[in-house]
Amino acid sequence: MKKTMLQKPKGFIDEYKHKAGAEKDRTHYCPGCGHGILHKLIAEALEDFGLVDETILISPVGCSVFAYYYFDTGNFQAAHGRAPAVATAASRANPDKIVISYQGDGDLAAIGGNNILQAANRGENIVVFFINNAIYGMTGGQMAPTTLEGQVTTTTPYGRNTDTDGFPIKMSEVLSQLTAPTYIERVSLHDAPHIRKTRNAVRKAIKNAKERKGFQFVEVLSTCPSGWKMDPVKSMKWVKEKMLPLYPLGVYRDLGDDAKITTRPVPVMDPVAVWEKLGISAEADVDFPRGDVAEEYRKLSIRVAGFGGQGIMVTGQALASVALEYGYNVSWLPSYGPEMRGGTANCSVNIQDGQIGAAEAVKPSMLLAMNRPSLEKFEEAVEPGGTLIYNSTLIDIEPTRADIKVFAIPITGIADELGNTRVQSMVNIGAYAAITDMFRVEDVIALLPKLFKGKKQAILDLNAKAVKAGFAYVKDNFK
Ligand SMILES: Cc1ncc(C[n+]2csc(CCOP(=O)(O)OP(=O)(O)O)c2C)c(N)n1
C-alpha cells in the first residue's frame, strides 16, 4: 500500500520554539487564515529549489509579523510598511541572495505605500508577496486601502463610503504602470485550484529572483475569517463573490526573458574612505593613550536602563563619546518608552576594537540598571560572567544572578549629596571608569566641555565632582 507522509517543508523551522507547551507545532494564525497557506507555498518552493539557506525573508508589521518564527531562512523584521526598504538593503548588500518582502495590505498599501512604489520603480531584485485580505487583520479589522466599497469594518461600521473614504487601491494595477517591475500577478487562495495557481506564481517569482530578474510582485487574495467575522467556508465564498470582481486575477506584467538583469555595484564598507571623504582624520580622534584594561572589558556590549530623566541617554552617549577618544569602535542606540520623562528608557552601547555587528545589546556583557523595573527586566539577559552595576539608592531588591559580578552603587544618593540629582550620569561614568580601568578620571574631566557644550563652568565643575565621586565610591568599596 502506498504510504503518504505529510510533513512540513524544510523551509520551515522544525519546532516553533516560541510557542509554549503543546502549541509548539502550531502557528499563531487563526483557522482559515490565508497566511498559513501562503507561508507553506513559499517554504515548499524554497525547499524544492534548494534556496532555504540562500534566502532572506523580511517580516512586516501585521499578522505575519512573526514570519521569522517559522521560516528557516535569514530573517529581518521591519517597521510598519518598511519591508521594501529593508529588503532593498538586504538585497544590495547580498546580491547573490533571494530576498523576500512579505507584506499585508495595511502594511504595503497604507503606511508603506510609497515604500513599495519606490522599490518597484527602482526594480529592486526582490520578491514581494502581498497578502490582500481587504482589512487590517492584526489590529481587529479596520479599513485598509484595499477595503471594498460598502464593506463593513470596525472603522467603517456603515460600510466603506467612497465619498469619504476613497476607493479601494488596486496595487497590482498601480505597480504595473511602472517600467521596472518584471513580474506582477494577482492570485487567490479561495479554493484548491486557485491555491495551485498561487503555488505556480510563488514558484515563478522565486525562480525569477534566483535568476536576478528584478522586481517580482505576487498579490494574493486571502481570507481573514476572524477580522471579517465569518467562518472559513463563508470567507472563501466572500473572496470569490466579492473580491474577485474588484480584483481580477491574472498576470499584469511578465517580461519573461526580456527582463533586464541589473547588476548593481556591491557597496564596500570602508570606514577610512568614508572618513576621508568627510574630512575626518581617523588618527586625530585617538587622543588618549589606553590604560591596562582587563580582557573581560575589551569587548563590551552595555545596556543602560532606567526611567526618563535619569540621564540614561546621557550616560550612554558619554560612555560612547569618551571611549571614542581612546580609539575604540563605539555605537549608541537609544530606545525610548512612550513618554520621554517619567517613562522607561534604555540605550545600548558597544565599545570594542573589532567591527560592531548589532548595535542593540540583546545579551549585554554589562547592565547598568538605574531603577527596579530595569533590573527586573534586563538582569536575566546579562551574559554569564558579565557585570551588573545597579543604583542601590532606588533599587530595594537584591539581584538574583550568582554568575555575574555585581556592583551595588548608591548612584542617586551620591549625586544628591553633591547637590544635584542630574549629575547621576557622570557618577555612572566615574564608577564605570573605576570598574573597567578603561577611562582615566582626568581624561573624562578634560572632555566635559566637549560633552556638555555651552554649559557654564560651574556645571562642568559639578559634573567633574560627580565623575570623581563615582570613581572613588567604587575604589573605596570594591576590590
Ligand atoms: C507605525 C505603526 N502604526 C500602526 C501600527 C498598528 N498596526 C499593527 S498591524 C497594523 C495593520 C496590519 O494590517 P495588514 O498589513 O493588512 O496585515 P494583516 O494583519 O491583515 O495580515 C497596524 C495598523 C503599528 N504597529 N505601527
> Cβ atoms within 10 A of the Cβ of 38, count?
25
pLDDT in tens, 42-65: 999 999 999 999 999 999 999 999
pLDDT at 342: 55
Do 238 and 228 form a contact (C-beta atoms < 8 A)? yes
Q: Using one digit for the tens of pLDDT, what is the confidence trace for 91-131?
A: 998 999 999 999 999 999 999 999 999 999 999 999 999 99
What pLDDT is recorded for position 271?
75
- Whether 295 shows a pLDDT value over 90: the answer reads yes
User: Which of 258, 291, 320 is the last residue in one of the domains?
Assistant: 258
- What is the distance between the alpha carbons of residues 102 and 93, in angstroms, rounded to a whole number? 19
Is position 270 within any domain?
no
Reported as a single tens digit per residue, the pLDDT across 407-434 is 999 999 999 999 999 999 999 999 999 9
> Best mutation site among 64, 82, 111, 136 for ligand 1, i.e. most ligand atoms within 8 A of its Cβ?
136
Q: Which atom of ligand 1 is nearest to the CA of 35?
A: 21
Residue at 183 is within a domain: yes
- pLDDT range class, residue 286, cuts 50, 70, 90: low
244 and 131 in one domain?
A: yes
The answer to whether the beta carbons of residues 217 and 184 sit under 8 Å apart is yes
What lines the ligand 1 site, CB under 6 Å? 61-64, 80, 104-107, 111, 133, 136-139, 144
With respect to residue 10, please indicate whether it lies within any of the assigned structural domains. no
Q: Is residue 18 part of a domain?
A: no
The whole-angstrom separation of Cα 433 and Cα 319 is 9
* pTM for the structure as a whole: 0.69
Q: How far is the CA of 432 from the centre of ligand 1 (A)?
A: 41
Q: Which of 223, 258, 293 is the last residue of a domain?
A: 258
Higher-confidence position of 310 and 283: 310
State the pLDDT confidence band at 280, using cuts at 50, 70 and 90: confident
Q: Measure the CA–CA gap between 435 and 231, rounded to whole angstroms.
A: 62
The verdict on 337 and 241 lying in the same domain is: no
Q: What does the longest C-alpha to C-alpha distance in the chain come to?
A: 90
Q: DSSP of 290-301, one letter per residue?
A: -----GGGSEEE
Residue 343 and residue 240 share a domain: no
Radius of gyration of the chain (CA): 27
Name the 3-class secondary structure at 347: strand
Give residue 265's pLDDT: 77
Let me know whether 286 and 154 are in one domain.
Answer: no
d(CA 108, CA 94): 23
What is the Å distance from ligand 1's center to 87 Cα? Answer: 18
Residues 295 and 344 in one domain: yes
**CATH code of the domain in which 156 resides:** 3.40.50.970
- Give residue 108 CA to ligand 1 midpoint distance, Å: 10
Domain identity same for 251 and 291? no
If asked whether residues 61 and 209 sit together in one domain, one would say yes
Atom 26 in ligand 1: residue holding the nearest Cα: 80
pLDDT score for 338: 55
Specify whether 133 is located in the same domain as 222: yes
Nearest atom in ligand 1 to the alpha carbon of residue 131 is 21
- Per-residue pLDDT band for 166 (boundaries 50, 70, 90) equals very high
Rounded to the nearest whole angstrom, what is the distance from the C-alpha of residue 140 to the centroid of ligand 1?
A: 10
- The answer to whether position 266 is within a domain reads no
Residue 250 CB burial class (10 angstroms; 0-12, 13-18, ≥19): exposed
Please give the average per-residue pLDDT across 313-333, as a whole number.
95
- The answer to whether residue 16 sits within a structural domain is no
Q: Are residues 329 and 473 in the same domain?
A: yes
Backbone CA torsion sign across 58, 61, 64, 66: positive
Specify the pLDDT at position 18. Answer: 66
Give me the pLDDT at residue 273, please. 81
The residue that leads in pLDDT, 281 or 382, is 382
pLDDT of residue 282: 64
336-362 pLDDT, tens digit per residue, is 765 445 567 899 999 999 889 899 999
Would strands 74-77 and 55-59 be described as parallel, antiparallel, or unpaired? parallel
Q: Report the nearest-CA residue for atom 10 of ligand 1.
A: 62
Same domain, 155 and 288: no
Percent of the chain with pLDDT over 70: 95
Q: Which atom of ligand 1 lies at the shortest distance from residue 103's CA?
A: 15
- Closest-CA residue, ligand 1 atom 8, reads 62
Domain boundary among the residues 258, 289, 313 is at 258
> Residue 268 domain-assigned?
no
Q: Are residues 224 and 297 in the same domain?
A: no
- What average pLDDT does the segment 118-147 reach? 97
Average pLDDT, the chain: 93
**Which residue out of 128, 132, 139 has the highest number of ligand 1 atoms within 8 Å of its CB and is therefore the one to mutate?**
139
Per-residue confidence band for 261, with pLDDT thresholds at 50, 70 and 90: confident
Find the domain containing 240 and state its range.
25-258
Name the least confident of 10-24, 182-196, 219-233.
Answer: 10-24
Judgement on whether residues 236 and 318 belong to the same structural domain of the protein:
no
CATH assignment at residue 339: 3.40.920.10
* Residue of the CA atom closest to atom 13 of ligand 1: 136
Mean pLDDT throughout 3-18? 81
* pLDDT at res. 219: 98
Residue 20: per-residue pLDDT: 55
Average pLDDT on 28-50 reads: 96
Whether residue 4 lies inside any domain: the answer is: no
- Residue 444 binned pLDDT confidence (cut-offs 50, 70, 90): very high
Closest ligand 1 atom number to CA of residue 224? 20
Q: How many domains does the chain have?
A: 2
